[in-house]
Amino acid sequence: MGTLNKSAGSEAIAELPDDAVRSFIEGFHGDVLRPSDDEYDDAREIWNGMIDRYPALVARCVDVDDVATAVDFAREHDLPLAVRGGGHNAAGTAVCDGGLVVDLTEMNGVRVDPEAKTVRVDGGATLGDVDLETQRFGLATALGVVSETGVAGLTLNGGYGHLSREYGLALDNLLSVDIVTADGELRHASADENEALFWAIRGGGSNFGVVTALEYALHEVGPDVYALFVWFHGDDAAVAMDAFREWTETAPRDASALAFTAHVPDIAEFPEESWGEPAIAFLGSYRGDPDDAEDIFGSFRERATPITDLSGPMAYADLQSMLDEDYPDGLRYYWKSIFLEELTDDVIDLMTRYNESAPSALSTIDIWHLGDAVADVPQDATAFWHRDKPYMLNFEANWEDAADDDANVEWVREAFAEAQALSIASGRYGNFPGLNEDPAKLLYGENYDRLVDVKTKYDPDNLFRSNTNVPPRPTGA
């Protein structure tokens, strides 16, 4: 497979006019890498080690002019185009075969206005970049839970995290963006300017252009919070999940928790006799009075004896990065999600059974508790549709060896098919999209036709199509 894909990158650049490539490189402020360059193989690698693609060119942008130049070149030469921010989308949308990668990695500036409680973030910044700067002022915006994730991709597809139930999705905290659209023009989009485009990018992914800067609202968070991180034996999954289900019905907005089935890792924080056994765990946080934390999360510990309890006060920035080592660059990933109207016994049984049969001990099955601030926003206020669902079920296959690809992908697909058959399950989430094999309408619900209208206006030739794609209407339709 590698040889065929490599030839796709090499053949694509061979078909481009030499003078056009030379002119593009000479006029570019950053570096442009071709398949023959020494750094090319490193530049095409992304977080998901299962993705092995060979672009014709990797354009490492250092400013907005570079982004516009790269978009123009891809459009004029009919090249597939991919956008790399953090490169963490599980489907590998940050790189393409035989096309051009707009790499924003070096555009990672973060500028905080503590008086206005806003932050302006460049399109290549990660969550860790943002948290580092905003926490200097005791501020944060609602983002994800792995600090090495790119801010732009996370936000454009939704963005769940520890602050979601209190402050909404990452995209709900977005005040404006700068975006280079398919015609190579830089546009500013907000509630007052290019309103239709601003509506679409909040949930519509990278269908509409390259977002070079994002402005967010900030909230008073930290510097310390109370972190919930407690593990129970797999045999206690039913009673532990029963406690979680009851907790979600009355939990205060300034507290969060997600549940996941897993296998106990072989590390010193866990008793050696438990290593490798099936488990159920809970991860969350509480941002209120620390003296109340035990009362907030006490019910998690009342019905079963933990394997280990790592809960306690923690710096918010440390909470945001505590999962980083579980999701390293180069591990192989296949993730799919579906929304749930309720957390039933059938769901809990499914999680338990498939956790026990997982081909990889690194895999997990997660239940995200949603609702509250996310559900407060009307479903048609942004392109993100599935706000009304109180839970999201995510199947995470994480493994090391390429020889195990088929077994792990099949494990997710079998479990997902069983979940999808439940009457309480529907939709998809753009940040956990498998390999983008499912129809985009499953993400966007009744917002889909409106998205098509915006796509047709700003990208009529479907230049931006490497993600969960919303095609424009055919000419004359």
Residue 333 belongs to domain with CATH number: 3.40.462.20
Is the pLDDT at 2 greater than 70? The verdict is no
Q: Is there a single domain that holds both residue 353 and residue 397?
A: yes
Number of domains in the chain: 3
Query: Does some domain include residue 73?
Result: yes
Q: Rounded distance, CA 300 to CA 282, Å? A: 8
Per-residue model confidence (pLDDT) at position 290: 86
Collapsing DSSP states into helix, strand and coil, what is residue 77? coil
What's the rounded mean pLDDT across residues 441-461?
97
Q: Is there a single domain that holds both residue 215 and residue 228?
A: no
E strands, 351-469, are 364-369, 391-399, 425-426
- CA-based nearest residue to 154, from 109, 222, 202: 202
Is the pLDDT at 1 greater than 50? The verdict is no
Residue 88 contacts residue 156 (beta carbons within 8 Å): no
pLDDT-derived band at 9, boundaries 50, 70, 90 = confident
Residue 135 contacts residue 215 (beta carbons within 8 Å): no
Per-residue model confidence (pLDDT) at position 6: 55
Give me 42's structure tokens: 């490193």
Query: Does some domain include residue 455?
Result: no
Residues 267, 271, 274, 280, Cα dihedral to 10°: -80
Per-residue model confidence (pLDDT) at position 476: 59
Query: Does some domain include residue 395?
Result: yes
Sign of CA dihedral 314, 320, 321, 326: positive
Sign of CA dihedral 325, 137, 129, 368: positive
Q: What CATH number is given to the structural domain containing 75?
A: 3.30.43.10
Q: What CATH number is given to the structural domain containing 155?
A: 3.30.465.10
pLDDT, one tens digit per residue, over 123-151 is 999 999 999 999 999 999 999 999 999 99
Q: Is there a single domain that holds both residue 273 and residue 177?
A: no
pLDDT, one tens digit per residue, over 368-420 is 999 999 999 999 999 999 999 999 999 999 999 999 999 999 999 999 999 99
Last residue of one domain, picked from the residues 84, 103, 122: 103
Query: DSSP letter at 110?
Result: E
Give me 429's structure tokens: 């989430």
Q: Is there a single domain that holds both residue 239 and residue 177?
A: no
Q: Is there a single domain that holds both residue 14 and residue 87?
A: yes
Contacts of 173 (CB under 8 A, 6+ apart): 141, 142, 167, 216, 217
Average pLDDT score, the chain: 95
The β-bridge partners of 391 are: 340, 369
Is the pLDDT at 3 greater than 50? The verdict is no
Instruction: Cite the DSSP H helix spans in 97-209.
Output: 127-134, 151-156, 164-167, 195-201
pLDDT-derived band at 332, boundaries 50, 70, 90 = very high
Q: Is there a single domain that holds both residue 375 and residue 236?
A: yes
Is the pLDDT at 4 greater than 50? The verdict is no
What's the rounded mean pLDDT across residues 86-107?
95
Query: Does some domain include residue 460?
Result: no
pTM summary value: 0.94
Q: Is there a single domain that holds both residue 209 and residue 165?
A: yes
- CA-based nearest residue to 344, from 260, 257, 236, 422: 422
Pairing of strands 100-103, 57-60: parallel
pLDDT, one tens digit per residue, over 113-124 is 999 999 999 999
Is the pLDDT at 57 greater than 60? The verdict is yes
Q: Which helix (H) or strand (E) holds 216?
A: strand 210-217
Residue 424 burial (C-beta neighbours within 10 Å; 0-12, 13-18, 19+): middle
% pLDDT > 90, the chain: 93
Query: DSSP letter at 270?
Result: S
- CA-based nearest residue to 312, from 414, 227, 244, 429: 227
Query: Does some domain include residue 432?
Result: no
Per-residue model confidence (pLDDT) at position 298: 87
Which structural domain range is residue 312 located in? 224-426
Last residue of one domain, picked from the residues 103, 124, 139: 103
Q: Rounded distance, CA 299 to CA 383, Å? A: 37
Q: Is there a single domain that holds both residue 231 and residue 214?
A: no
Query: Does some domain include residue 447?
Result: no
Place of tokens 């905080």: 112
Phi-psi region of 476 (alpha: psi -120 to 50; beta: other; left: phi over 0): left
Give me 126's structure tokens: 């990660």
Q: Is there a single domain that holds both residue 232 and residue 372?
A: yes
pLDDT, one tens digit per residue, over 173-187 is 999 999 999 999 999
Q: Is there a single domain that holds both residue 94 and residue 145?
A: no
Residue 61 contacts residue 73 (beta carbons within 8 Å): no
Q: Rounded distance, CA 198 to CA 202, Å? A: 7
Place of tokens 């921010």: 85
Query: Does some domain include residue 468?
Result: no
Last residue of one domain, picked from the residues 197, 220, 243: 220
Per-residue model confidence (pLDDT) at position 300: 84
Q: Is there a single domain that holds both residue 375 and residue 253?
A: yes
Query: Does some domain include residue 450?
Result: no
pLDDT, one tens digit per residue, over 256-309 is 999 999 999 999 999 999 999 999 999 999 999 888 998 999 888 888 999 999
Is the pLDDT at 359 greater than 70? The verdict is yes
Is the pLDDT at 347 greater than 90? The verdict is yes
Sign of CA dihedral 351, 357, 360, 362: positive
Residue 109 phi, psi (nearest 5): -70, 150
Q: Which helix (H) or strand (E) holds 26?
A: helix 18-26
Residue 369 contacts residue 258 (beta carbons within 8 Å): yes
Q: Is there a single domain that holds both residue 256 and residue 385?
A: yes
The number of C-alpha atoms within 13 Å of 394 and in the hemisphere containing its C-beta is 26
